[in-house]
Structure 1
Amino acid sequence: MTSLITTELVILDADQGTESSAVIRAMATAIAEQGRANSAEGLATAAIAREEKTPTGVPGGIAIPHARTDAVTTPSLAMARLNPPVDFGAKDGPADLVFMIAAPDGAGKEHLALLSKLARSLVKKDFVASLRAAATEQEVVDLVETALGLREADTEHAPAGSTAANPGDTAAASATAAASATAAAPASADSASAAEDPRRVVAVTACPTGIAHTYMAADALVQAGSEMGIDVVTETQGSSGTTPIDQSIIDGADAVVFAVDVDVRDKARFAGKPYVQVPVKAGIDDPQGLIRKALAEADTPNGRRLAAAHTADEESSNSTSSRESIGAHLKRVLLTGVSYMIPFVAAGGLLMALGFLLGGFDIPDYSEDIVLGNSLWNLPTEYGDLALGPVGAYLGAVSFQIGNLSMGFLVAALAGYIAYAIADRPGIAPGFTVGAVAVLMGAGFIGGIIGGLLAGYIAHWIGSFAAPRWLRGLMPVVIIPLVASLVSSGLMFMVLGGPISALTEGLNSWLSSMTGTAAVLLGLILGVMMAVDLGGPVNKVAYSFAVAGLAAGSVENPVPWEIMATVMAAGMVPPLAMALATALRPRIFSQAEKENGKAAWLLGAAFISEGAIPFAASDPLRVIPASIVGAGVTGGMTMAFSVTSQAPHGGVFVFFAIDSFLLFLLSIVVGTIISALLVLVLKIFVRKGGAAGLAEATAPAASKSTATASTDSGAVASDAAQADEPVSSKADASRV
């Protein structure tokens, strides 16, 4: 097997600047120069992108940037001892020891196991001390290869307590051995009383790459448990394989720690156990604190327990701790409903717009008759000249009808998945049913929200009953859907539907009457809402408001179409503005942001507001206000110009569904220029100073908001350093 590390891949006591990206690029270049990667830039870009998702600095002055990419041809390990140290995001300060792990996309498990084993060795203080004391590159290589078990232990260079290992050992097996050893570990002073009968915590660790953090968190938890006199058994769900914890060990555990950045596989194995769930890096930074929190949940009668009926995916989205606020709970369930509703809207709206393009604006009047009375072998002729003739009329009618039927699920899907977020699968049928009743009663979007909440809480309440064993199998598939549908839909028919319908009709009439200044003000408000959290709850409210009224638009009542155009145009401004800003003054942005700026052109043009999230996440107090101003101006302009859109998504790519398309573009261009110039002015002339503290104080909430919002787009937050002064290479980093 090719050696992972050579002397040419070791950099000792070097000054690599003050930015983590510069260190990563230097190490990627060293790997590429040895013929182990076909592109230094490709490897560096992948590693920097991973760094932006979660900083790789860990306590003890260590950083482990890593990437798995097709730019790598040979699994490799580069090491740099830095002078001065560089900030990689660790809580205790900058890192002077940096290990860069480079793995090919198709790396075999043997190599991945060795790389994972190195990550585990870095939690050993003797090994780290030996690396800092090493005098030559060869001494570093000897230490690393000894730790990996690739050579006999050298008493001069090997870290104290290390032993040679079989190179075929997997990291998973190593984890099991380490975990088992903790049962016999001596207890510390503050837990000596537990030594005779130690408590047990089981833990699962996992990160997106599955090479470094996964295994370091596992070993940190095991080591912390040993110091506390707690038996900690870990399961690493990483790239080098997974050895599941035996079910008997799980059953006997007091509590569970999930230190993960991805979904836990087979999470239902831990059903009923007290647990805490945190990002994988928290398992490295504060393992003892996590163990204490997990045991505190076990000691609290109303502590958080993993629901028995949920799978891993459901638990991650549906579990609610006893301490979740009412507002957070409502936001979570409403966003769940909206996220499941949007695909119906996007596909249906675009198909309806295509129907108008092919069949003309009269197609709604004829589409049903054309589809039911004709076919490709019997094209319609009796409906006159419909845009592209008989073929266009038929294809347009088919597209319009498919889209119209898809849009017909809008309210039902919204209600159904709101109920699902509350009551799990038993809530889906009652939710869809009450949503359909809301449509029949004319209660619309508001009726769907209220009906979904009603169906969900009724289904959840019925499901909380302690049913006899013979009835339990019927509860989720018969009893709960039957009773919850009857009660919630009955209330919608007999009590709620009429008043909500009147409210909806009044709201539509008020919006339709808006002209002049009132319409511009509405556009301004919608534009601000689209930019204030870039795909978060406020953005989703504005978007849902627009698409809910889309089907009610017509030539006689174009206001719903105008609102749709306003929302779409305003939502395109933030990513386009950030793309323009990086093009105008690239030197005040990090390399990662410049790459994000290139992608933001396409994202913005396609109406994906989340394209601006990497910029807003790293500098929220300057990017978000600038985005709000430009988006608000665009929203006001589109309403003033009475621009309409019959498509709910697509940006410039659905030009055929946008009336006054040139005015639509003009509004976007003006807003984009305003936001881009404003963000440049703020970055150049307004230093972060005291604002940085506010940004850090609000960081957890901002991270949660953007993480929720970007589920659909796959957007990731950038925490790359930002340069405040174009003439200075020193970065003023703000991490979110």
Structure 2
Amino acid sequence: MKKIVAVTSCPTGIAHTYMASESLEESAKEMNIKMKVETQGSVGVENELTEQDIKEADAVIIAADTNVSKERFANKYIVEVAVADAINDAESLINKALEGAEKGQTTQINNDLYNQVSQEKSKRKESRTGAYKHLMTGVSFMLPFVVAGGLSIALSFVFGINAAQEEGTLAAALMQIGSGSAFALMVPILAGYIAYSIADRPGIAPGMIGGMLASSIGAGFLGGIIAGFLAGYLTQWLKNHIKLPQTLQGLMPILILPFLSSLIVGLLMIYLIGPPVQGIMNGLTNWLQGLTEANAVILGLILGAMMAFDMGGPVNKAAYTFGVGLLGSNIYGPMAAIMAAGMTPPLGLALATVLFKSRFTRQEIEAGKPAWFMGISFITEGAIPFAAADPFRVIPSTMTGSAVTGALSMLFGVGLKAPHGGIFVLPIPNVVTNLGFYALAIIIGTIVTALMLRILKPKLTK
């Protein structure tokens, strides 16, 4: 029996989402075709498609008026239409999907480095569960705000380190965009989308409100993370335990759940959670500002090793989130160590494929060429295909090189005010302190990584 999977979603997520789902299921039943439909409605994702469902499917139908991610449907034939088309003529959509699948029309993925990285990241995303999945959802939505805000702040420094203090100037406008707006949204977005990952749309409002309160009372990104998890699990609990008549169910996602959750989360953040977390953040800030040279080197060593350990995984993201959170407290040293250490793994591997060709396959040598660009762009994931092929030699090599880079960056007293951009932000005036030593730390770490690979990786047989 043929099988099709589908996703339906409309902007409001109330009526048309479910009408389209029902229409597809009824038509499939009449045509003797197995059908599973995932609905992305006002209460979140229901009847979610599993990896096995997608693997067994002959084709995919996406009937949506909202953005639906298609990454998980790679190598499947996809029919993408408006949600109304599924309501009005589901049968023709099913026939179109089956015809495309029979002709072998699929989404192809080329076997180059970028697509290998994309596939690996998709696998990691699928494997995320529990608290880590929710945290990474918040971080992924927060990152564009961090990057856009950080680069806007960096551009303001072009006009002078204190130029933004003069009202009415372009530097002041750039600082307002970056620090006053994008960075102000950073913690609320983080908290809101952690809650969204747990409780879907009803969790966004209480999560963002909790995050805004965490930011305003000085609890920082740590308070935002706590607020996000609190809002998400509380909203989910209320969703499961509040029972209303069918006629009033529409009030749950837009009135009852957001209001009750926001009220409870807000009061808890103000009176119970916020003050002690604020104390922890102040203590952390004071400790980092008073680091001795030896302690700074140790911190850089740890952060550097974390960045290379799983190259975009939970440990890497934990280190990066730590550095980003400190930017709001005007502590720039850890961010410099983190970005430098994140650039080193792909750069070291690219260098090794040039210097020690006998230790790499022809495919790996070719993959080393784009790894140069991924490295200088601070895309640590560029090292993933190499690590996946030989983890017990590659990962220790990259961790060693990145640990050296992070330690040297902290030893040299480097500070970085931009949270991303790789070498492309380094020429901006006043963004990096001790730029020459920063470049030296990256170069040394890259060489150490390549030499470690030379030592650990044996020559390949012919």
User: Structure 1 length normalisation: TM-score?
Assistant: 0.48
Task: Determine if the alignment matches structure 1 residue 516 to structure 2 residue 301.
Answer: no
SS of 1:543 mapped into structure 2: helix
Q: CA deviation at 1:274?
A: 9.0
Task: Determine if the alignment matches structure 1 residue 493 to structure 2 residue 275.
Answer: no
Structure 2 counterpart of 1:614: 385
Matches of 2:239 and 2:219 in 1, distance apart? 28
Structure 2 counterpart of 1:328: 129
Task: Determine if the alignment matches structure 1 residue 402 to structure 2 residue 180.
Answer: no
Structure 2 counterparts to residues 331-342 of structure 1, below 5 A: 331-342=132-143
Matches of 1:253 and 1:456 in 2, distance apart? 41
Matches of 1:311 and 1:398 in 2, distance apart? 32
Q: CA deviation at 1:311?
A: 9.4
1:674 pairs, out of 448, 451, 461, with 448
Q: Which has the higher helix share?
A: 2
Structure 1 counterpart of 2:214: 438
Matches of 1:408 and 1:680 in 2, distance apart? 46
The C-alpha deviation readout for 1:514-553, integer Å capped at 9, x for no partner, is 1211110000000011110101111111111111111221
The C-alpha deviation readout for 1:36-88, integer Å capped at 9, x for no partner, is xxxxxxxxxxxxxxxxxxxxxxxxxxxxxxxxxxxxxxxxxxxxxxxxxxxxx
Conservation of the 8 A alpha-carbon contact between 2:333 and 2:415: yes
Q: CA deviation at 1:395?
A: 2.1
Identical-pair percentage? 43
Q: CA deviation at 1:313?
A: 4.7
SS of 2:39 mapped into structure 1: helix
Structure 2 counterpart of 1:347: 148
Matches of 2:23 and 2:387 in 1, distance apart? 40
RMSD over equivalenced CA pairs, Å: 3.1
Unaligned runs of 5+ in 2: 8-21, 59-65, 73-127
Q: CA deviation at 1:490?
A: 1.0
Q: For residue 174 of structure 2, what is the amino acid of its counterpart?
A: S
Higher RCO, 1 vs 2 (CA within 8 Å, ≥6 residues apart): 2
Structure 2 counterpart of 1:159: none
Q: CA deviation at 1:403?
A: 0.9
The C-alpha deviation readout for 1:615-634, integer Å capped at 9, x for no partner, is 11111111111000000011
Q: For residue 300 of structure 2, what is the amino acid of its counterpart?
A: G
Matches of 1:454 and 1:314 in 2, distance apart? 30
Q: CA deviation at 1:251?
A: 6.6
- Residues 346/585 of structure 1: CA separation in 2 closer, same or farther (3 Å cut): same
Matches of 2:150 and 2:209 in 1, distance apart? 23
The C-alpha deviation readout for 1:69-112, integer Å capped at 9, x for no partner, is xxxxxxxxxxxxxxxxxxxxxxxxxxxxxxxxxxxxxxxxxxxx
Structure 2 counterpart of 1:660: 434
Q: CA deviation at 1:668?
A: 0.6
Structure 2 counterpart of 1:248: 26
SS of 1:604 mapped into structure 2: helix
Structure 2 counterparts to residues 137-536 of structure 1, below 5 A: 179=2, 202-204=3-5, 246-248=24-26, 267-268=38-39, 276-278=50-52, 283=56, 313=69, 328-358=129-159, 360-366=160-166, 369-370=167-168, 394-404=169-179, 405-464=181-240, 465-536=242-313
| 502-511 vs 247-256, which moves further | 247-256
- Residues 205/344 of structure 1: CA separation in 2 closer, same or farther (3 Å cut): closer
Matches of 2:445 and 2:140 in 1, distance apart? 27
SS of 1:467 mapped into structure 2: coil
The C-alpha deviation readout for 1:13-42, integer Å capped at 9, x for no partner, is xxxxxxxxxxxxxxxxxxxxxxxxxxxxxx
SS of 1:466 mapped into structure 2: coil
Conservation of the 8 A alpha-carbon contact between 1:267 and 1:311: no
Task: Determine if the alignment matches structure 1 residue 584 to structure 2 residue 355.
Answer: yes
The C-alpha deviation readout for 1:446-501, integer Å capped at 9, x for no partner, is 10000001111111122223321222112111111111111101110111110110
Q: For residue 396 of structure 1, what is the amino acid of its counterpart?
A: A
Matches of 2:40 and 2:223 in 1, distance apart? 38
Conservation of the 8 A alpha-carbon contact between 1:255 and 1:274: no
Matches of 1:416 and 1:269 in 2, distance apart? 18
- Residues 272/545 of structure 1: CA separation in 2 closer, same or farther (3 Å cut): closer
Unaligned runs of 5+ in 1: 1-177, 180-201, 207-243, 259-265, 288-309, 317-326, 371-393, 554-559, 685-723, 730-736
Q: CA deviation at 1:203?
A: 4.8
Q: CA deviation at 1:276?
A: 4.5
Structure 1 counterpart of 2:100: none
Matches of 2:206 and 2:264 in 1, distance apart? 9
Conservation of the 8 A alpha-carbon contact between 1:634 and 1:671: yes
SS of 2:332 mapped into structure 1: helix
Conservation of the 8 A alpha-carbon contact between 2:39 and 2:48: no
Conservation of the 8 A alpha-carbon contact between 2:28 and 2:35: no
Q: CA deviation at 1:601?
A: 0.9
The C-alpha deviation readout for 1:104-159, integer Å capped at 9, x for no partner, is xxxxxxxxxxxxxxxxxxxxxxxxxxxxxxxxxxxxxxxxxxxxxxxxxxxxxxxx
Task: Determine if the alignment matches structure 1 residue 540 to structure 2 residue 312.
Answer: no
Q: For residue 343 of structure 1, what is the amino acid of its counterpart?
A: P
SS of 1:267 mapped into structure 2: strand
Structure 2 counterpart of 1:40: none
User: Structure 2 length normalisation: TM-score?
Assistant: 0.75
Matches of 2:31 and 2:237 in 1, distance apart? 30
Larger Rg: 1
SS of 1:648 mapped into structure 2: coil
Q: CA deviation at 1:608?
A: 1.1
The C-alpha deviation readout for 1:681-717, integer Å capped at 9, x for no partner, is 2111xxxxxxxxxxxxxxxxxxxxxxxxxxxxxxxxx
Conservation of the 8 A alpha-carbon contact between 1:257 and 1:276: no
